[in-house]
Structure 1
Amino acid sequence: MSQLLPLVFGVLAAALHGLGALAALDAIFHSRTSQGAIAWSLSLVIFPYLALPLYLVFGGRKFYGYVEARRRGNQQIQHIFSLARESHGGGIRAEFPPGEERFPALERLARIPFSAGNSARLLVNGEATFKALFEALDSARDYILAQFYIVRNDTLGREFRERLVRAARRGVRVYFLYDTIGSYHLPRSYLEPMHAAGILTAGFTGRVKGRGKPFQVNFRNHRKIVVVDGEAAFVGGHNVGDEYVNRHPKLSPWRDTHVEVRGPAVLGVQLAFLEDWFWMTHQAPPLCWTPRPAERPGNRVLVLPSGPADDLDTCGLMFTQVIHSARKRLWLVSPYFVPDEKVIGALQLAVLRGVDVRIMLPERTDQTLVHLAAFTYLEETLPFGIRVFKYKEGFLHQKVFLVDDDLAGVGTANLDNRSFRLNFEITLLFADPDFARRVEEMLAEDFSRCRELDMGEI
């Protein structure tokens, strides 16, 4: 038997090298970037024993199965998507004055146009966000859609659960979706009171009921969405955990931003949730798809979901287009800064056009490696006139941008390649001078709590 061991090990080694070579070809043809193709192919050929398992987990280019489930594989979801698109016509679609139609590319990325008849409220930090969110949950009459990347079994998490349970006991239909990676530590006992109250729950994963491919754990659903009765939607940077309401011993005070929207744009947020829910459950719950203008309409809003199931790199292209559209001012706020070459080039071109380009990042960090990686990209900013600021008071987690005086964005996407290519994200864009002014005032206050980086620090 011992004489056969060298032969067995030799066959296994040859098989691994062969599989490594096949995986290297797959990386060459399917990696989204040339750097990724080179790095993966060399590693797979030279070190297949280590690189092959890593490639199976982290090397996927697309989130397989989701596209078919969403767009091709089921007439029900297609019909709902058609209803959502049709709802943005006939007086609901936003009109722009001649010469101000700057956003057709963004509308094509979103697959629906800007809608009119919305109202929007900025929710600055956790106290304001969860006060408004809990009030909306307590007033729900028909259904609640709740989706978060991180949900913790702590004081805030249990309070959030209690609000959902109370709503369900009133007869409200409640659908709760969480990411299984982001909420890895969420115990099964957290969900038991929900199930007892009749709440339907699902954990977002890469493979379900024979659909998708194995090893898709690198794709995460980073969206934070709550929809109440098809009338109000909440989107932004807050997850459900005590740190988001200033209970973290090292990172508090926690700086974050959410937005509450009422009006036809709610249907776009609702559709993003429905696509994720449909992927996990293969069911489309009955929801209201009739657009309801807000009581005090005035905001033009575009709902732009993005993710690795898209044909295009939607999130990265959104940022690139937003940067290219800037004529006077471009303020970007993100907790992480690991962009790609297209975004860096767009930022440099904006400075050459005379745009006031500012990037706000946190002084403190919750991810040391990502924080250190940012310095590589900062070398491409300060020398070319891009101003970089570090927020000093606590941890900065908001994902916000402001373009000129008439376009602002609030959402879940960070300025990094994970958001650009690997995460499911959602961003609300507001083509509205009044909302842009409110974002300007908010960010001006934030900049007053920052220090500006100089060349010596990079």
Structure 2
Amino acid sequence: MHFSMIDLGTLVLLIHLSGVVAAVHAVVYTRTSQGAIAWAVALVTMPYLTLVPYLFLGQSHFAGYIDARRSGNRQLRALADLPDGPADPDATGRATAALGDGATHAFDRLSGMPLLAGNRVSTLINGTQTFDAILAAIEGAKHYVLVQFFVVRDDRIGQRLKRALLGCAARGVRTYLLYDGIGSHDLSRRYIRELRAGGVVAHKFATRRFVNRFQLNFRNHRKLVVIDGERAFVGGHNVGDEYLGEKPPLSPWRDTHIDIAGPVVSSIQFVFVEDWFWATQRVPDLIRCNTVHDANMCCQAIITGPADEFETCSLFFVNAINSAQQRIWLTSPYFVPDEAVFTALKLAVMRGVDVRILIPARRDHLVVFSASTVHASEAVRAGVRMFRYQPGFLHQKVVLIDDIAAAVGSPNLDNRSFRLNFELTVLTIDRGFAAEVETMLLADFAESLPVGLDEFRRAPALKRAAMRVACLFSPIL
């Protein structure tokens, strides 16, 4: 008994020492001061609970990736045959003037992609519309199909996708599937074997180095489909029956995708090329989209990720909020903004901008939902109009700027999207499309309830304390 107590004491001491060492590592390597403080405090005070999560979530450097990505960027752009600039300078000049020279210049710098005219964009406002359109486009492909999702499940919609991809490959269409190794962790090996056996080239996006084997950070959160370099689909839907609203208690699921045709498709397919090259060290044989549509919408692919020189996703939201003169409406399943985004929201309110944010009334992650509740309460106190969507789970990621610009994509309003995930957003500067998005969001707000100042206050004291603790971990959620 005496020796077992000594052993126990030694174990406790080792755990606490490991916590201190990990805390020092967090302070040195975590990308933000808020995240460093959150990890350091948790590791020193609660090492029993946080050491293992830190192993999976704490590393903020993607070993070898940043240098490889930057050094190969120019070569990949040449291989992808990207346009060097706007095909219609007059149209893009008018769009730039409408949104503001400073804002559009910042978007150019953030994305590294040009603002391109001659596009057609339409909204797909639920899973049925989205997957009916995607699967029909895949079945009509003539040259190649690029499919990339964070989550792919082997369920009914997953089986429909598999049949469509196998049909493409059987017709001689080059067919590629890229899925995230963590987001699609439960995807069966048989599913991938059947695709490969049928001629589909399928790979997962994952860190390849041994030292990264435990990492859950740096996920590829993008959702995109490209057909023949002429048409693309981008948005918030993944491949799973829940996105069709078929899995209670979160159903009906509310999400948004967009259907895009025009020159910006070349920028979108470059996103796939870059990610595919990382996963396979090969580049697919693609063509540039040269089709210009009468709609003549100006679009820009906003590509963000942890390998960028700056924190481009956070800066995208800051720039969008700062560019608004009359209104900025945002929707997100998670509202855990960093200090820069929250400050931009408060300043927009002070400028007299109509700031509205739509978030879910139902939760899919308890800790994130708890932290979101605290942040929502603070936003309401600052004058932001917060709303909770009532019919089902809200998963869409949409930004509406005044009556001129709208963005639809994959990033959430949280640190994971801001700094740790690879994301894709398509910004459209066009009054007609902005009006379409406004109509869509007004219908969503009509099915929502405002968040009041008392939402957080009326919670039981113990629950409020738990929410505050969850909020402390906001920088690492």
Q: Please confirm whether the aligned pair reaches a TM-score higher than 0.5, indicating the same fold.
A: yes
1:348 deviation in Å? 0.7
Q: Which residue of 2 aligns with 1:395?
A: 393
Q: Which residue of 2 aligns with 1:273?
A: 272
TM-score by length of 1: 0.91
Q: 1:264 to 1:384 in 2, by over 3 A?
A: same
Q: Which residue of 2 aligns with 1:122?
A: 123
Secondary structure, in 3 states, of the residue corresponding to 1:292?
coil
Task: Kindly indicate whether the alpha-carbon contact (under 8 Å) linking 2:377 and 2:455 is maintained by their aligned counterparts in 1.
Answer: no
Query: Structure 1 CA distance, aligned partners of 2:255 and 2:329?
Result: 16
1:325-380 deviation digits (Å, cap 9, x = unpaired): 11101111111111111111111110000000111111122222221111111232
1:280-302 deviation digits (Å, cap 9, x = unpaired): 111111111x3313333411101
Within 5 A, what are the aligned runs for 1:217-366? Answer: 217-288=216-287, 290-366=288-364
Query: Structure 2 CA distance, aligned partners of 1:304 and 1:64?
Result: 24
1:320 deviation in Å? 0.8
1:45 deviation in Å? 5.1
Q: 1:73 to 1:7 in 2, by over 3 A?
A: farther
Secondary structure, in 3 states, of the residue corresponding to 1:96?
helix
Task: Kindly indicate whether the alpha-carbon contact (under 8 Å) linking 2:87 and 2:116 is maintained by their aligned counterparts in 1.
Answer: no
Secondary structure, in 3 states, of the residue corresponding to 1:338?
coil
1:96 and 2:93 matched: yes
1:433 aligned residue (431, 434, 441): 431
Q: Which residue of 2 aligns with 1:150?
A: 151
Gaps of 5+ in 1: none
Q: 1:156 to 1:225 in 2, by over 3 A?
A: same
Q: 1:295 to 1:39 in 2, by over 3 A?
A: closer
Query: Structure 2 CA distance, aligned partners of 1:243 and 1:281?
Result: 30
Q: 1:22 to 1:192 in 2, by over 3 A?
A: same
Q: Which residue of 2 aligns with 1:177?
A: 178
Q: 1:67 to 1:394 in 2, by over 3 A?
A: same
1:308 deviation in Å? 1.5
1:442 and 2:440 matched: yes
Task: Kindly indicate whether the alpha-carbon contact (under 8 Å) linking 2:60 and 2:217 is maintained by their aligned counterparts in 1.
Answer: no
Query: Structure 2 CA distance, aligned partners of 1:382 and 1:47?
Result: 32
Q: Which residue of 2 aligns with 1:215?
A: 214
Q: Which residue of 2 aligns with 1:193?
A: 194
Letter in 1 for 2:38: A
Q: Which residue of 1 aligns with 2:452?
A: 454
Q: Which residue of 2 aligns with 1:420?
A: 418
1:293-315 deviation digits (Å, cap 9, x = unpaired): 33334111010121122121111
Secondary structure, in 3 states, of the residue corresponding to 1:131?
helix
Provide the identity percentage.
46
Query: Could you say which structure has the higher helix fraction?
Result: 2
Q: Which residue of 1 aligns with 2:107?
A: 106
Task: Kindly indicate whether the alpha-carbon contact (under 8 Å) linking 2:377 and 2:452 is maintained by their aligned counterparts in 1.
Answer: no
Q: 1:178 to 1:332 in 2, by over 3 A?
A: same
Task: Kindly indicate whether the alpha-carbon contact (under 8 Å) linking 2:87 and 2:117 is maintained by their aligned counterparts in 1.
Answer: no
Task: Kindly indicate whether the alpha-carbon contact (under 8 Å) linking 1:308 and 1:423 is maintained by their aligned counterparts in 2.
Answer: yes
Gaps of 5+ in 2: 457-477
Query: Structure 2 CA distance, aligned partners of 1:51 and 1:395?
Result: 29
Q: 1:364 to 1:8 in 2, by over 3 A?
A: closer
1:162-183 deviation digits (Å, cap 9, x = unpaired): 0000000000011101112111
1:408-430 deviation digits (Å, cap 9, x = unpaired): 01001111111111111111111
Query: Structure 2 CA distance, aligned partners of 1:249 and 1:382?
Result: 30
Secondary structure, in 3 states, of the residue corresponding to 1:413?
coil
Task: Kindly indicate whether the alpha-carbon contact (under 8 Å) linking 1:65 and 1:211 is maintained by their aligned counterparts in 2.
Answer: no
Query: Cα RMSD (Å) of the superposition?
Result: 2.6
Within 5 A, what are the aligned runs for 1:133-148? Answer: 133-148=134-149
Q: Which residue of 1 aligns with 2:367?
A: 369
1:170-197 deviation digits (Å, cap 9, x = unpaired): 0001110111211111111112221111
Count of matched residue pairs: 451
1:73 deviation in Å? 4.7
